[in-house]
Structure 1
Amino acid sequence: MHGDGKAVSVVGAGTNLAKLLQVQRAAHAADPFPTAEQRIDRLRRLLAALESHEQRIVEALNADFGYRSPHQTWFAEVVTTAKPLRLAIAQLRRWMRPERRSTGLPFNLLGARAEVHYQPLGVVGVISPWNVPVNLAVAPLAGVLAAGNRVMMKPSEATPATAELLQQMIASAFDPAELTVATGGVEVGREFSALPFDHLLYTGGEAVAKHIMRAASDHLTPLTLELGGKSPTLIGEGADLQLAARRIAFGKVFNAGQVCLAPDYVLVPNARKRELVDALIEAFKGMLPEASGSRDFVAAINARHADRLRGYVLEARASGAEVIELEWTGRSSAPGAIMVPLTLLVEPSPMLAVMREEIFGPLLPIVGYDRFEDALAMINAKDRPLALYYFGDDRAQIQQVLTRTVSGGVTLNDVIMHYTMDDLPFGGVGASGMGAYHGRDGFRRFSHARAVYTQSRFDIGGMLRPPYGPRFERIARVLQKHG
């Protein structure tokens, strides 16, 4: 069912996507500026659909992963997805208000007015990944729908049960002319990314992002790319290592590190390296005690992904790095679950694949440094990451982290948490992405900021039109000095 109570069909792989885009474009043309009430209604319908499918979401993700902690799924896919929707509902009317801007002298003295009006873009495409497939498909819609757009979504084919559920969930609440989901494999993904959307949001890997940029260039489709990278965790000399270990360990336990924001490697003073390793082992044991096995852990998404991670470990061990495998975290009673154990890699060579490629799994390299400047240099030698984490209370070091490194976001004395702050922009920089959304920034990202200037009844323009003379020169000098 959808908003007016009529049954609707779902959109499968055989659907003509171009024709569906035409339907949404026509609907937008007929109603190009939805009211606040219409937008809030859409957001509420989406929130209701999410929460009414809570148990089915847990079951679908468990089927797709082979095993996924029900509590992790509920928190990652439902709790953290509902939050931005509720924020948008509460703040939408304020976000929609035109913003007054300065006109400058002499225009401000004569009654001219300058404003920014936020206008819907039209039809926005959303391509979402497999790792947190409900959250990363639905949470961005808080900004997309708040901005008054219509949406076509393409979830990952790597989580087919979840993709099918998303399709049914959206069809239960929306007419396809408002919001719809297209499922299918790589060919559908290619067709989808080549459509002339008014904006396209892609969340995923860098390699696929390059193909999407090429396809989007044919129509000059504006893009928001949320990618990933090797997000570093930097331990300051005076950091509380027990606290740091618990919080870093959570970043690897959560979805078994299959998160674009997971801490990818840790830089720690050499003098405290062994202390940190021991603290991390204890932290992992505290979260995943041997008695309960991997009940609160998550399987690798598929065999190919698991084999890649195991290859990193084999290469590190062969190179002489210390490998500490928490073997009980690699066991599961769930049939078909492909478990990769939590593994610490101590002092892996910078030339190893695990130190050059995004890990996206439960492996954590630990690298020592002698001087803080050396640690910053190591971070800056790599591509700009999606996130950077610092543990410590040294104000001078914090200032260096914030001014001498570049990353999409920063969390101090924790990991990942800046993503959960719905009123902070979330996005990458450089190889980790372009564009940011969440909260007001999401509303603006998926809107056109339209400049609106209202001229004074006084004929200001007449002072600037030829024939030119001394009066014109005096006015121009005022504009030059005062703007």
Structure 2
Amino acid sequence: MSHNERVTDIFHRQLSNHSPISVKERLKKLSNMEDWIKTNRQAIFDAHYDDLRKPESEVELGEIWYVLSEIKLAKKHLTNWTKPLHVGISTLALIPARSWIHYEPKGVVLIIAPWNFPFNLSVGPLVSALAAGNRVILKPSEMAPNVSSLVKKMVDDLFQPEEVAVCLGDAEVANSLLGLPFHHIFFTGSPAVGKIVMSAAAKHLSSITLELGGKSPTILDETADVNLAAKKIAWGKCLNLGQSCIAPDYLLIHKSRKDEFLEKLSKRIDEVFGDTFDEKESSPNLTHVVNEGHWDRLNDLLTSAVKQGATIVHGGGKNKESNFIEPTILDTVTQEMKIMKEEIFGPLLPVIPFDKLDDCLDIINSKPKPLALYLFSNSRKNINRIIDNTSSGGMVINEVKTHFLNLNLPFGGVNTSGFGRSHGFEGFKTFCNERAMLKNGKTSLVWLIFPPYTSIRKKIIRFVTRYL
């Protein structure tokens, strides 16, 4: 049996299984996953190091803890999430009808995960899909082969293929999966590939969630706490070496704070990761670039910016053999440079000074709506002005990235940065059909507006349309 035939066979086996999965069964599946993750914690650490040289603490926080938090929240609330949500009637004409929303699984769903947070962004959506009662085919990234193989081992240990199956492979495997009529597709990745996924989904009218990316701006105004901002931006930009869809992509800073901030940010980077390039390259606290192709892309962004007049304020060291580029701050950057037109997804931070907040609004609103927007400010007026005059999937004030960790917040983008929401109850709903339910009986008044439209019934209809 060829790989494509095997994929198709698994899909149809899941599709033909119409038996509902009870809440009790779902809770058991989630508990089994929770136990497996806790038991195999060291294997998860090792796989991430082998693929990305990712520090153990980053794996603990950004991969394991996040997924366990999703499981914990789902287990705690699943019984309530699955209960009918009773709603009132919007018109008295429906008296005495009862109405409610019934959350039913979408059916057989496909999850396509990226390489940058390979466990988190594979297993996190899987938790939501299973909580909602779906059957799942999961396609992890071939660029993180060790983590992908580990995810497959977890699924093989815990599930039958008719429940959950993992398909390993490259874009050819993904394309074969996208040719199947899934009931829902959940994709995390770049906007360019998101368009391909959306086009494929349209052929089957499959519903879709796209978690994409974009250029997430960070604003630092004249009222900001520079010390606080330097520490948090250094962390947010250097976590996973900037290979994150919600990493600060570029910095807009009030010209009166620029020199002070750049000095403090440079100092903070050296304090945490080492004074020299060699110390940073061997630092146990810094990930490396995932592969040579992405290193080449980042190197092109850096060198082309410098050729066009950008200056390196801090960093700039690189080693292709180890797929490493140190955290690098760039000044005298213009909007015409390639680095300001593409999502960076790496350790390069362009800095652009501004005089007025309107300058920030002009830059941000000239680009596609970002997945995240960060603002460091102690001015309520400035905060409200940014909120009211921009649009983004999420916005964080005096912090970066941490909205992702609050599972009570819906996570997702806007237009080119994605659509649909994930995490917690929103993730559960993403994998559900919210079925509209209404029940009435013999005492229903609706029959009063049935034809034939006699003069009396016309009066009743007029009364209903005007007053009820």
Under a length normalisation based on structure 2, what TM-score does the superposition of the two structures give?
0.95
Cα 1:482/1:258, change in 2 over 3 Å: farther
Match of 1:61 in 2: 48
Match of residue 102 from structure 2: 117
In the aligned structure 2, how far is the partner of 1:479 from the partner of 1:256? 63
Distance in 2 (CA, whole Å) between partners of 1:130 and 1:74 is 17
1:44 to 11, 15, 31: 31
Gap change, CA 1:475 and 1:143, over 3 Å in 2: farther
Give the partner amino acid of 1:50.
Answer: I
1:305 correspondence with 2:294: yes
Identity %: 35
Equivalence map 1:395-406=2 (5 Å):
395-406=380-391
In the alignment, is the contact (CA less than 8 A) between 2:376 and 2:399 conserved in 1? yes
CA change 1:250–1:130 in 2 (3 A) is same
Cross-structure match for 1:81 = 67
| Correspondent of 2:437 among 449, 452, 458 | 452
Distance 1:89 1:357, change over 3 A: same
Map 1:9-408 to 2 at 5 A. 13=3, 16-27=6-17, 29=18, 31-32=19-20, 34-65=21-52, 67-107=53-93, 110-290=95-275, 293=280, 294-326=283-315, 337-408=322-393
Aligned equivalents of 1:374 and 1:61: distance in 2?
41
Q: Which runs of 5+ in 2 are unaligned?
A: none
Deviations 1:163-213 (A, max 9, x none): 111111111111111111000112111101221110001100111111112
Q: Is the deviation greater in 55-64 or in 118-127? A: 55-64
Contact 1:369 1:375 in 2 (8 A): yes
How far, CA to CA, are the matches of 1:18 and 1:372 in structure 2?
Answer: 54
SS where residue 252 of structure 2 aligns? strand
Instruction: Check conservation: 1:111, 1:457, Cα contact below 8 A.
Output: no
1:482 Cα offset (Å): 4.6
For the residue of structure 1 that corresponds to 2:161, the secondary structure is coil
Counterpart-to-counterpart distance in 1, 2:208 and 2:244: 21
Give the 3-state SS of the residue equivalent to 2:204 in structure 1.
coil
SS of the residue 1:436 aligns to? coil
Contact 2:93-2:464 within 8 A present in 1 as well: no
| Contact 2:70 2:424 (8 Å CA) reproduced | yes
Q: Is the CA contact 2:10–2:165 (under 8 Å) kept in the aligned structure 1?
A: no
Displacement after TM superposition at 1:72 (Å): 1.3
Q: Secondary structure at the match of 2:367?
A: coil
Supply the distance in 2 between the matched residues of 1:15 and 1:445 (Cα, whole angstroms).
29
CA contact (8 A) 1:268 1:366 kept: yes
1:12 CA displacement = 9.9
The alpha-carbon deviation at position 285 of structure 1 amounts to 2.1
Could you say what secondary structure the match of 1:296 adopts?
Answer: coil
Which amino acid in 1 is paired with 2:8? A
Residue 278 of structure 1 aligns to a residue whose secondary structure is: helix
CA 1:460–1:137 in 2, change beyond 3 Å: closer, same or farther? same
How far did residue 282 of structure 1 move? 1.8
Q: Determine the C-alpha separation between the residues in 2 that align with 1:282 and 1:470.
A: 84
Alignment partners' CA distance in 2, 1:280 and 1:136: 30
Answer whether contact 1:17 1:192 (CA < 8 A) is retained. Answer: yes
> What is the deviation of 1:457?
2.6
Contact 2:4/2:176 (8 A) holds in 1? no
CA offsets, 1:64-117, max 9 Å, x none?
A: 12x221221222111111111110110111111111122134246x42111110
1:231 to 1:357, Cα distance in 2 relative to 1, 3 A: same
Aligned partners of 1:115 and 1:451 also within 8 Å: yes
Instruction: Supply the distance in 2 between the matched residues of 1:324 and 1:195 (Cα, whole angstroms).
Output: 50
- Contact 1:133–1:155 (Cα < 8 Å) also in 2: yes
Q: Structure 2 CA distance, aligned partners of 1:104 and 1:131?
A: 46
TM-score, normalising length: structure 1: 0.92
- Distance in 1 of aligned mates of 2:272 and 2:200: 44
**Aligned residue pairs: how many?**
464
Mark the CA change 1:221 to 1:104 in structure 2 (over 3 Å): closer, same or farther: closer
Give the whole-Å Cα distance in 1 for the aligned partners of 2:4 and 2:274.
47
Is the 1:316–1:323 contact (alpha carbons within 8 Å) kept by the matching residues of 2?
no
Counterpart AA for 2:301: Y
Deviation per CA, 1:208-235, whole angstroms, max 9, x where unpaired?
1111122222211111011100000011
8 A Cα contact 1:105 1:482, kept in partner: no
Structure 2 distance, partners of 1:117, 1:247, is: 42
State whether structure 2 residue 416 is matched by structure 1 residue 415: no
Which whole-Å CA distance do the structure 2 matches of 1:102 and 1:259 have between them?
Answer: 43
- Counterparts in 2 of 1:158 and 1:15: CA distance versus 1, 3 Å: farther
Deviation, structure 1 residue 310: 1.4
Structure 1: unaligned runs, 5 residues or longer: 1-10
